[in-house]
Chain A
Amino acid sequence: MAERIAITVSELTDLSAPMDPRFGRAAGFLVVQDGEVLTVSKNSAVLASHGAGTGAASLMQELGVGKVISGAFGPKASSALTEMGITMLLAPAGLTAAEALERAGRGELQVQALRVIR
């Protein structure tokens, strides 16, 4: 079975939605498998005063995704996703979800590695 990929989106529609440039405070997530949208999931953590990143990360785990595409991942989300074994892919802002997915398919997106600074 092909891997599930989540993309942060600022509109809860389909692959034509703009990619949301932020992970923890994204409006929602599209979960894609074999090019088909499996789920459109609202991000319930978006308005949390704290813990949006860890909340969104736990949602990724529930949705069973192996990769997430977004514009930026915060420090807590990064460490949570790393621990969960979920790969973070960085896409430039201004793309649609479909465009971001295509670039990921061509291996053009940078993988966000957890930077250990000390």
Chain B
Amino acid sequence: MIVSFASGKGGTGKTMLATNLAAVLSARLTTTYVDADVEEPNGHLFLRHDEARLERAAVSLPKLEGVCTGCGACQKACAFHAILALKDRVMAFPELCHSCGACCMVCPEQALVERPFEIGSLVHARLGALRLVSGRLDVGQARATPLVEAVVRAGVRGHEDEMILVDSPPGTSCAAMAAVRHADLVVLVTEPTPFGLNDLRLAVEMCRAMERRIVAVVNRADLGDGEVLHYLEREGIPMLGQVPFERSIATAYARGELATTRSGALRAVLDAILAHIELVALDGSLP
């Protein structure tokens, strides 16, 4: 089962919940923690492992390797204006390219060919029973989505019948969508502030558009106002628990430690998520 931790707003506690849940869950079931927040992966700060295997990830980009007649077929085929045909050559814009390969397919001279272009790394590691897969986008790379897709695929492939926890990038961009696209359950982490509510709404709309099953957890629950709770109730989104704004959790997090044994309140929320995961596993028709 794939459970993604997502949020519209950044810094709401996705990694805190996902890493702590991964630690608790891996004691019972074969579990993989996938860090899909490839622009700023930080799960490894809490799930600290020694050895890791690095795998480079690449997308394909068009490269002119034959004779260009300037016919413009590639330019017409590109939906993203990522390639321009000049008189005797092409000009490609890698940051606009979606690696669909259409330009190479339509080139009548077969002068344009797809060539791999490295954008980041996949890091494979183990921490006791827990399997870790994380993505790290190279500095200077603009497109995170293909790497998010690759890291989720690497986490899931061959482990379909096990527990996969995906730590998603914040927001509702293509990269965030790639991290929740295959989730059987999305845990939306929010905070009870106007900012939290605004971005929670966006995340809910994103998940509904993708027909994902959603539940919510409210972090720093004793700050802000009650609007988030009202909203969740109105929308019929199960609220699995509230993590208080507690010094013990903040201290552990700042030290790069897990807080599962330090906060009874956090532990209760983790147990509620585990119980819901079991329900989803038993009954695919749950809300």
Residues of A within 8 A of B (CB): 45, 48, 50-55, 57-58, 61, 76, 79-80, 83-84
Contact = CB atoms under 8 A, between A and B. Distances in A.
A58 B84 contact: yes
A51 B84 contact: no
Given A48-B81, A55-B81, 8 more contacts: A45-B81, A51-B82, A54-B81, A54-B82, A54-B93, A79-B91, A80-B84, A80-B91
Contacts of A48: 81
Name A's interface SS. helix
B271 to A, nearest CB: 42
A83 B86 contact: yes
B75 interface: yes
A58 B75 contact: yes
A50 B82 CA distance: 9
Interface residues of B, number: 10
A45 B95 CA distance: 17
B96 A51 contact: yes
A76 B81 CA distance: 11
A16 B95 CA distance: 37
A83 B84 CA distance: 10
Interface in B66-99: 75, 80-82, 84, 86, 91, 93, 95-96
24 contacts: A48-B81, A50-B80, A50-B96, A51-B80, A51-B81, A51-B82, A51-B93, A51-B96, A52-B81, A53-B81, A54-B82, A54-B93, A54-B96, A57-B84, A58-B75, A58-B81, A61-B84, A76-B93, A79-B91, A80-B91, A80-B93, A83-B86, A84-B84, A84-B86
Nearest to B81: A51
A55 B95 CA distance: 14
